[in-house]
Amino acid sequence: MTGVDPAKDASGSDIQAVQRVGQICSLFGPHTAELTAADVAGRLGLNRTTAYRYCASLVTAGILERGHRRGTFVLGGLMLQLGMHALERRRVVKVAPPYLAELTATVGMTTVLAVWGARGPVVALVNEDVSRTVLVTVHAGSELDLSSAQMRVFLACQDEQAFARVTADVSDARRAELEAGVHMARRNGYSIATPSVGLFTAAAPIFDDYGICATIALLGADQMADLSYGSPALTKLLMTAAALSDEMGGGQERRRVAHL
């Protein structure tokens, strides 16, 4: 009797359905709490009836729930449960809070911990600097884009396949710009970026014994902030990243990457 290869046994339509579920779930985020079937159809190029059938089926599975407004859908309890389990697996999220608090208190800036998500860095923890008149912050759960210092640091410590995935749909000019930023992050061991006018981020990698597990970053709006090499703020950021790496068991990996 010949065994059946599960991979070959799966039909193309089944695989497409799984991919579609992932695409629908990825539409939700900190600024997109609710979506209608029409929203899903428009963003994914689906027929409205098909989009509604997918959403209704996901409600049955607990992946989505009906929203408060008529005809809307929100992420369901199963996604919350899975998200909590996924974060609990990232030990760095449990270890990092006191490090972020100390860093914020020392440099007077909001500090951010990001982990690698499905398509790039995702904000896991934020420690806000409330000592200033203007609060500069970012929402936990935010997916950081190609202009972020955290993206450059992550890609500097990963293989070429990760770079290819995140730049698959970007212009040649944008890809070249990111490649230059990744090269600088790899050479320096940190990255500084200005994702929008008046804002800056400075990020450094955190390692465990498997490689990079997170990035820690400073977020500010003071254009006069000194982030030159050897400055107090940048030095404290790098020291905090190193201390976190040591606690995560990645001190040796950190030193190995530093000598590449």
Q: pLDDT digit string (tens) for 47-58?
A: 999 999 999 999
The pLDDT tens digits for 201-252 are 999 999 998 899 999 999 988 766 888 889 999 999 999 999 999 999 988 7
pLDDT value of residue 186: 93
**Residue pair 107/218 in contact by the 8 Å Cβ criterion:** yes
**Averaged confidence pLDDT in the chain:** 87
The pLDDT tens digits for 135-166 are 888 988 888 989 899 999 999 998 888 888 88
DSSP 38: H
Element (H, E) at 213: strand 211-220
DSSP 203: E
Distance CA 63, CA 40 (A): 15
Helix boundaries (H) for the chain:
6-9, 12-26, 37-44, 48-61, 77-89, 91-95, 97-107, 149-156, 160-166, 172-188, 232-247, 251-258
User: What is the pLDDT averaged over residues 184-197?
Assistant: 88
The SS3 call for residue 103 is: helix
**pLDDT at residue 88 tops 80:** no
**Token pair for residue 59?**
């409600």
- In degrees and rounded to multiples of 5, residue 192 shows phi and psi of -125, 130
**Token pair for residue 180?**
């230059």
pLDDT value of residue 9: 52
pLDDT value of residue 89: 61
Amino acid at 231: S
